Amino acid sequence: MAQNELTFAQSIRLFIRLSRPLFLLGGILLYALGAGIARYLGASIDWGVYFIGQVWVTSLQLSAQYLNEFFDSPDDLRNPNRTPFSGGSGTIGPGQLSRSTALYAAATTLTITASLTVILFEQADISPVLVMLMGLSFLGAVFYSVPPIDLSTSGYGELVASILVANFVPFFAFLLQTGELHRLLVMTTFPLTALHLAMMLAFEFPDYASDVKYEKPTLLVRIGWRNGMVLHNLLILSAFFLLGLAMVFELPVLIALPAFLPLPLGLLQIWQMRRILAGARPNWTALTLTALVLFASTAYLLAFAFWTR
């Protein structure tokens, strides 16, 4: 009996790791950002719709993650440089969860997403723009890993994922509360798109040798690691440039200034990349952790500023 209970407990722990709850925080932060902008502009938040929309985002995000684990697990098993943030969850394989677990989990969360879509159509003021956004989000999340489209190996998957998370999620939250878009969304989310794409590139560096060996054509493999480092650094710098430019176009200073606090972290990330380029031994865990914290902290500070003004 004790052995069965231990096996069950291990399965639960592995499934939690499979779900990668830390990554779900990104969807929560970006959703809160969109709703915070709506509140800042005077909208009255419908909390029932807010929470249904948040669960819709999280269930769709889980679907994408489970599908990615199902289709990428054979390659992930061959990757010797997996970190807590790259190379898959590391929970599928001999003595761990089966691939079918990820597939069944994806089917479940996709069903939940479909059910919540019906509820949202009944509860919220649905506009054509919102319907299109939800449709594109669903297609992007599903076909990020699913053949034959498999955006993750197209060279465009990283950009699509960044747009889905950094643009579409806050747009979705804002539309649910207001029914229309606003220029503040563009001003605040475009810098985050650049930071998210830089983060995606950072996550691919530990997998680079394995991806090249097994011919997995990610964005980094397609452009090469040297060009990838240059692009990564330019994306971080361009994110804060866009944030400063947004202030010129009347993004409130008290909203934008707190988002510059992670700039030293961005410079640290650039420094790490330059050291690796110069031949230093890479610390992949530190590199990927810094990339994650840079994106998440900037998103949090923007969301916090809108909610508290």
Domain boundaries, the chain: 21-308
Higher pLDDT, 91 or 245: 245
* Average pLDDT of span 270-275: 95
Is 32 a residue whose pLDDT tops 90? yes
- Residue 97's φ and ψ, nearest 5 degrees, are -75, 150
Residue 243 buriedness (CB in 10 A; 0-12 / 13-18 / 19+): buried
User: Residue 172's pLDDT band (boundaries 50, 70, 90)?
Assistant: very high
Residue 51 buriedness (CB in 10 A; 0-12 / 13-18 / 19+): exposed
Q: What is the pLDDT of residue 1?
A: 36
- Residue 247's φ and ψ, nearest 5 degrees, are -65, -35
* Average pLDDT of span 173-197: 96
* Average pLDDT of span 253-267: 96
Read off the DSSP letter of residue 90.
S
Percent of the chain's residues with pLDDT above 90: 76
- Please give the model's pTM, rounded to 2 decimal places: 0.93
Percent of the chain's residues with pLDDT above 70: 97
* Average pLDDT of span 68-94: 79
Residue 61 buriedness (CB in 10 A; 0-12 / 13-18 / 19+): buried
Q: What is the pLDDT of residue 10?
A: 86
Is 297 a residue whose pLDDT tops 90? yes
Residue 154 buriedness (CB in 10 A; 0-12 / 13-18 / 19+): middle
Is 72 a residue whose pLDDT tops 90? no
Read off the DSSP letter of residue 249.
T
Which residue in this structure is represented by tokens 């096996």?
Answer: 7
Closest of 94, 21, 75 to residue 218, by C-alpha: 75
